[in-house]
Amino acid sequence: MKLMMIKTYFGLSSLLAPEKTGKKSFDLFQKVRKKSVREREQDFFNEARAFKVHCDKEPIDCFELGDPNGKLVFLVHGWDSNAGSMSKLAFKFAENRYRVITFNLPGHAFYKSSSTNLLECKKAFEAVIDFIQPKEVFSVVSHSFGSAVVANGLASGKYEVDKLVFLTNPNKVEDIFIEFKEIIGLKKKAYKSLVKHTTKILGAPINTLDVATNLDKINFDRLLMIHDKHDAVLPYQNSFDINSDIQNSQLISFEKIGHYKMLWNEEVVGRTLAFVQGKEVL
């Protein structure tokens, strides 16, 4: 019922005031659905060392687990989630003497704000890396929207990266905007206004945020993508296309691991760890 009301509202207002509606739809596009921290996620927050990193909007909630002198791995969660969603991975890496650093994306979990966008999240990730000041190559494991954050955050080429693992990922940002347009019933002129407004905020066209485009700019050793062929949130085709375009990449296809449940799947966690350790995974 709520979605129907939203679609009716934006459909009508698109016809009456397309420019204003396009800008207003951007506010909805940035809205995060904050969810309660689940019990299995809370264990991570109870055990990890919390610290803050300064950023433009609010200080970033950061967490550290494992061996302070171990090899460094960053974990980046997805949209509408929190750092604890990566806890099974975090504990597994910590058990293997890695230094695990993760954080809540802006607008998620415990922040006052409940909205954000890819640009803000990219800046937050950059701020966390700069705060840690890695002295050696490091690896990054990300989920869903977090994979776009990682691709954009590392695209400056400032750091040399060892392994990248994308546990599902978007690719073309325009595809996400078009899907959003269809969901809320945005008409053509209002959609153009949305894209124009977004481009102004970014200072560049939205296709500059595409995952494959930014991967080309990163100095990394190897990329592993794990994706369910029937993922209902982010199409499997995203990973298939990137794997076709990017050198040093590997795609492992699954079925029935879902989009969110995969983060708690023993086989997914095991293959992720093995890949980051430099082992061959199939």
| Domain CATH for 157 | 3.40.50.1820
Q: Which domain holds residue 57?
A: 31-172+210-276
What average pLDDT score do residues 122-132 get? 96
pLDDT, averaged across the chain: 94
CB-hemisphere CA count at 13 Å for 173? 24
Residue for token pair 């066209």: 205
Residue 107 belongs to some domain of the structure: yes
pTM of the complete model beyond 0.75: yes
Residue 155 belongs to some domain of the structure: yes
Q: How confident is the model at residue 149 (pLDDT cuts 50, 70, 90)?
A: very high
Q: How many domains does the chain have?
A: 1
User: Are the CB atoms for 275 and 281 separated by under 8 Å?
Assistant: yes
User: Are the CB atoms for 193 and 15 separated by under 8 Å?
Assistant: no
Number of neighbouring beta carbons within 10 Å of residue 79: 21
Residue 1: predicted pLDDT: 56
Q: Which pairing describes strands 138-143 and 72-76: parallel, antiparallel, or unpaired? A: parallel
Residue 253 belongs to some domain of the structure: yes
Residue 26 belongs to some domain of the structure: no
Residues 205-241 have pLDDT tens digits of 999 999 999 999 999 999 999 999 999 999 999 999 9
Residue 106 belongs to some domain of the structure: yes
Distance, C-alpha 65 to centroid of its chain: 20
Residue 40 belongs to some domain of the structure: yes
Q: Which pairing describes strands 160-167 and 219-228: parallel, antiparallel, or unpaired? A: parallel
Residue 16 belongs to some domain of the structure: no
Cross-strand bridge partners of residue 164: 140, 223
